Structure 1
Amino acid sequence: MTEPIRVVHIDDEPDFARLVAANLERENDQLTVQAATSVEKGLDQVDDETDCIVSDYQLGDGTGLEVLEAARKEFPGIPVILFTDTGSEEVASRAISADVTDYLIKGIVTEQYGLLATKIVSTVEQRRTAQRATQVEQYLHELSEQANDVLYIFEGDWSDVLFINSAYETVFEQPVDMVRNNPTNFVEAIHPDDRERMWMAMERVSEGQFVQTDYRIDTAGSDEKWVESHAKPVIVDGKVARIVGYTRDISDRKAQMQELERINNQLDRFASVVAHDLRNPWNVAHGYLEIAQSRENSQELEEVSNALMRMDQIITNMLELAKMGAKVSDFEPISLPDLLETCWNSIAQSEATLDIETDVTIYGDGTRLAQVFENLFRNAIEHGSADVTITVGLLEDRAGLFVKDDGPGILPSKRQTALEWGRTTSETGTGFGLPIVQEIVEAHGWNLQITTASNGGARFDISGVEFADRGLR
Structure 2
Amino acid sequence: MSREIRIIYFGSEPDFTPNLSKFDGFADRTTEFLNVSTSAEAMPTLERTRIDCILVQLEPPRQPGIEFLETVRETYPNLPIIVWIENWSSDAAEEAISAGATDVVRRETGSDSVVVLANRLSNAIEQHRTTNETTKRDWQLERAFDAIGVPVWVRNRENEYVLANEKYRDEVGISRDVDVIGKTPTDLVEPEMAERFVELHEQVVQTGEPLQIEWHRTERDPHRVIDVRLSPVLDDGRVVLVCGIAIDLTERTAEVGASSIPDTEGETPIVDDDGTVDDAASISAALPRNGSLDRERRRNAERLELALEAGKVGIWEWDVQTERTWFDDRFAQLLGYEQAELTPHADTWLELRHPEDHEHVLDTLHSHLRDDIAHFDVTQRLRTASGRWKWVRDVGKVVERDEDGTPRRAIGCIVDIDEQKRQERKLQRQNDRLETFTETLSHDLRNPLNVAQGLLELLEEDCENEVLQEVSRAHDRMEQLIEELLVWARTGTSAVDCTHVSLTSIAESCWSNIEQTGSELIVDDDMDIVADDSRLKQLFENLFRNAIEHNDPSIRIRVGSLPGRSGFYIEDDGDGIPNEIRGRMLERGFTTTESGTGFGLAIVREVVDSHGWELDVTDSDPGGVRFEITGVEAAD
Query: 2:613·2:631 contact (CA, 8 Å) conserved in 1?
Result: yes
Q: Could you tell me which amino acid in structure 2 is paired with residue 338 of structure 1? A: S
Q: In the aligned structure 2, how far is the partner of 1:379 from the partner of 1:369?
A: 15
Match of 1:348 in 2: 515
Q: CA deviation at 1:242?
A: 6.5
Match of 1:213 in 2: 378
Match of 1:203 in 2: 366
The number of equivalent residue pairs is: 387
Among candidates 359, 368, 376, match of residue 535 of structure 2: 368
SS in 1 for 2:632: coil
Q: Could you tell me which amino acid in structure 1 is paired with residue 613 of structure 2? A: W
SS in 2 for 1:317: helix
1:426 is the counterpart of 2:596: no
Among candidates 315, 319, 323, match of residue 152 of structure 1: 315
Q: Could you tell me which amino acid in structure 1 is paired with residue 395 of structure 2? A: H
Q: In the aligned structure 1, how far is the partner of 2:446 from the partner of 2:571?
A: 34
SS in 1 for 2:583: helix
Match of 2:499 in 1: 332
TM-score by length of 2: 0.51
Q: CA deviation at 1:354?
A: 1.5
SS in 1 for 2:501: strand
1:404 is the counterpart of 2:404: no
Q: In the aligned structure 2, how far is the partner of 1:100 from the partner of 1:392?
A: 78
Match of 2:431 in 1: 264
Match of 1:192 in 2: 355
Among candidates 408, 414, 421, match of residue 247 of structure 1: 414
The runs of 5 or more residues in structure 1 that have no matched partner are: 1-68, 70-81
TM-score by length of 1: 0.67
Q: In the aligned structure 1, how far is the partner of 2:97 from the partner of 2:65?
A: 19
SS in 1 for 2:493: coil
- Please, which moves more after superposition, 358-367 or 377-386? 358-367
Q: Could you tell me which amino acid in structure 2 is paired with residue 182 of structure 1? A: H
Q: CA deviation at 1:356?
A: 1.8
Query: 1:161·1:180 contact (CA, 8 Å) conserved in 2?
Result: no
Match of 1:379 in 2: 546
Query: 1:337·1:356 contact (CA, 8 Å) conserved in 2?
Result: yes
Q: CA deviation at 1:449?
A: 1.4
Q: In the aligned structure 2, how far is the partner of 1:337 from the partner of 1:422?
A: 30
Query: 1:158·1:184 contact (CA, 8 Å) conserved in 2?
Result: no
Q: In the aligned structure 1, how far is the partner of 2:441 from the partner of 2:357?
A: 40
1:458 is the counterpart of 2:621: no
1:226 is the counterpart of 2:387: no
SS in 1 for 2:425: helix
SS in 1 for 2:592: coil
Q: In the aligned structure 2, how far is the partner of 1:361 from the partner of 1:371?
A: 18
- 1:326-371 deviations in Å (ceiling 9; x for gaps): 3744322223322222221221111111122333332222222211
| Larger CA Rg, structure 1 vs 2 | 1
Aligned-pair RMSD on alpha carbons?
4.6
- Please, which moves more after superposition, 309-318 or 206-215? 206-215
Q: In the aligned structure 2, how far is the partner of 1:229 from the partner of 1:415?
A: 47
Among candidates 329, 337, 344, match of residue 181 of structure 1: 344
Q: In the aligned structure 2, how far is the partner of 1:200 from the partner of 1:211?
A: 10
Match of 1:169 in 2: 332
Q: Could you tell me which amino acid in structure 2 is paired with residue 189 of structure 1? A: L
SS in 2 for 1:146: helix
Match of 2:302 in 1: 139
SS in 2 for 1:213: strand
Shift of the 350–182 alpha-carbon distance from structure 1 to 2, 3 Å rule, reads: same
Query: 1:233·1:244 contact (CA, 8 Å) conserved in 2?
Result: yes
- 1:214-269 deviations in Å (ceiling 9; x for gaps): 12224576644222223356699998896554312323322222122112111221
Q: CA deviation at 1:460?
A: 0.9
Alignment of 1:61-72 (within 5 A): none
Q: CA deviation at 1:170?
A: 3.5
Match of 2:581 in 1: 414
Q: Could you tell me which amino acid in structure 2 is paired with residue 446 of structure 1? A: W
Query: 1:150·1:166 contact (CA, 8 Å) conserved in 2?
Result: no
Q: In the aligned structure 1, how far is the partner of 2:101 from the partner of 2:588?
A: 77
Q: In the aligned structure 2, how far is the partner of 1:385 from the partner of 1:447?
A: 28
Q: In the aligned structure 2, how far is the partner of 1:138 from the partner of 1:227?
A: 24
The runs of 5 or more residues in structure 2 that have no matched partner are: 1-22, 24-55, 70-79, 105-127, 136-292
Match of 2:138 in 1: none
SS in 2 for 1:351: coil
Match of 1:306 in 2: 473
Taking only the aligned residue pairs, the percentage that are identical comes to: 32
Q: In the aligned structure 2, how far is the partner of 1:438 from the partner of 1:356?
A: 22
Q: In the aligned structure 1, how far is the partner of 2:410 from the partner of 2:606?
A: 40
Q: CA deviation at 1:307?
A: 2.6
Match of 1:23 in 2: none
More helix, by proportion? 1
Match of 2:18 in 1: none
Among candidates 393, 405, 424, match of residue 560 of structure 2: 393
Q: CA deviation at 1:150?
A: 3.6
Shift of the 237–426 alpha-carbon distance from structure 1 to 2, 3 Å rule, reads: farther
Q: CA deviation at 1:115?
A: 9.8
Q: In the aligned structure 2, how far is the partner of 1:87 from the partner of 1:137?
A: 47
Shift of the 379–270 alpha-carbon distance from structure 1 to 2, 3 Å rule, reads: same
Q: In the aligned structure 2, how far is the partner of 1:159 from the partner of 1:144?
A: 30
Among candidates 350, 356, 359, match of residue 526 of structure 2: 359
Q: Could you tell me which amino acid in structure 1 is paired with residue 312 of structure 2? A: D
SS in 2 for 1:254: helix
Q: In the aligned structure 1, how far is the partner of 2:89 from the partner of 2:625?
A: 92
- 1:373-412 deviations in Å (ceiling 9; x for gaps): 1111111101121011111111122311111111111233
SS in 2 for 1:181: coil
Q: Could you tell me which amino acid in structure 1 is paired with residue 512 of structure 2? A: N
Match of 1:449 in 2: 616
Query: 1:226·1:249 contact (CA, 8 Å) conserved in 2?
Result: yes
